Amino acid sequence: MPAIFALAPAKIILFGEHAVVYGRPAIAVPVTQVRAKAVITPNPLSPPGIVLIDAPNIGLNAQLENLPVSHPLRVVVACVLKTLRVITPPSLTIRITSTIPLASGLGSGTAVSVAIIRALSAYLGKPLPEPEVSELAYQVEKIYHGNPSGIDNSVITYAKPVFFIRNQPIQFIDVTHPFTLMIGDTGIKSPTSSVVEKVHKSWHTNPSVYESIFDKIGGITVEGKEAVQSGNSLILGQLLNRNHALLQELGVSSPELDHLVRIALEAGALGAKLSGGGQGGNMIALVEPTTASKIERILQDNGAVRTIITSIGKVGQPV
C-alpha cells in the first residue's frame, strides 16, 4: 500500500465571528499559505490494529492506544474508523505536520482533523466525500469547543470563501475581484472555547444588549458579502472597522489586538479587525497590494510576532 497524504488550509473569519454562534451569518475565507498535512504510511512489520501517531510539531510520537481516550488525535482517528465501520485497521503510521499557528483563530485544530479524515479514509480505500469530511470534523470540534458554529470545518474542508449561517446549507462566495489581506498575530494564545463561553455568560446576563450587537454584526456581514462580490474595497474596509468596534463591545478584543488594528490603519490599511475568537490570536487588515509590504514591516516593528499576506480570490491558489 503506497503512502497517502492530504492537506487542509488555515482560515480567517472576515465578518461575523461570535454572532455566528447565535444564528447570524458570517464570512470566512481559506488561507492557503499555511496548512496542515497528514501522511499515512504502512507498517508492514507490525500486526494489524497498531496505529502510530507521529506529530513532531507537538513532540508526540506514540501508539494511538497509549494516548488518553479524549486526546484530539485519538478522537479523530476513532471517528473515522467508526464512520467507515473499520474495527481493525491495517498497521499504519499517521504523520501530522502543520505550519498553522496554534490557538490563534486560524483553525489549526480543525485543519489537522480535516487532513487526517481525508488521508485516513482514502488510505482505507473509502475516501469520504466533502460533506462527510466536514461533518466529521464538526463532530470532533464539538467535543473540544462545546458550541462551535460549524464555520471552521466548512471553510477549511471546502477551501473556498463561505457565507455561513448555522444549520443552513453553505453558500460559497465567488470572489471575482481579488483582495489582499494582512494577517497579524499578537502572539497571545487564546483558546476559542473560553472566549465563546465568556460571551455566552454575558449574553445570558444581558440577552437584549447582546442580541442587538449580534444583529448589527449580522447586518455588516450581509453588506460585507455584497462588498466582496462587487469588489468595493473602500466599503469593505469600513465594514471591517465597524465589525471590530462591535467585537470590542462584545468584550472579545484585547489591548494587543486593538493596538495592531490601530497601527495597521495608521499605516494605510483600508480597514482592520480582530479575527476569530479574539482576546489574543490574530487581527486582519485589508490592504492594497502595493502597500502590503510596507504595512507588514510596520506591524512587525510594532509587536506582530508573525504576519501573513494573503490574496483572497486569486485564481489557481493551491490548497
Instruction: Name the site residues for ligand PMV (rule: CB under 6 A).
Output: 13, 17-18, 20-21, 105, 107, 148-149, 151-152, 192, 196, 276-277
Pick 18 or 74: Cβ nearer ligand PMV: 18
For the bound state, the minimum distance from the C-beta of residue 147 to ligand PMV, rounded and expressed in Å, comes to 7
The C-alpha atoms of residue 126 and residue 84 are separated, in whole angstroms, by: 7
Contact 61, 21 (CB under 8 A): no
> For residues 123 and 164, which CB has a smaller minimum distance to ligand PMV in the complex?
164
Which residue out of 152, 174, 258, 301 is catalytically annotated?
Answer: 152
Q: Is 152 a catalytic residue?
A: yes
Nearer of residues 224 and 277 to ligand PMV, judged by Cβ? 277
CB nearest ligand PMV: which residue?
276
CB 110 within 8 A of CB 156: yes
In whole angstroms, the minimum distance from the beta carbon of 305 to ligand PMV comes to 17
User: Shortest Cβ distance from residue 178 to ligand PMV (Å)?
Assistant: 22
End-to-end CA distance of the chain: 25
In the complex with ligand PMV, the residue whose CB is nearer, 3 or 172, is 172
Residues near 282 by beta carbon (within 8 Å), at least 6 away in sequence: 12, 101, 104, 105, 106, 183, 184, 185, 186, 274, 275, 276
- Cα 130 to Cα 3, 32, 85, 285, 313, distances in angstroms: 21, 18, 18, 30, 20
Q: How far apart are CB 154 and ligand PMV at their closest, in Å?
A: 10
**Catalytic (active-site) positions:** 152
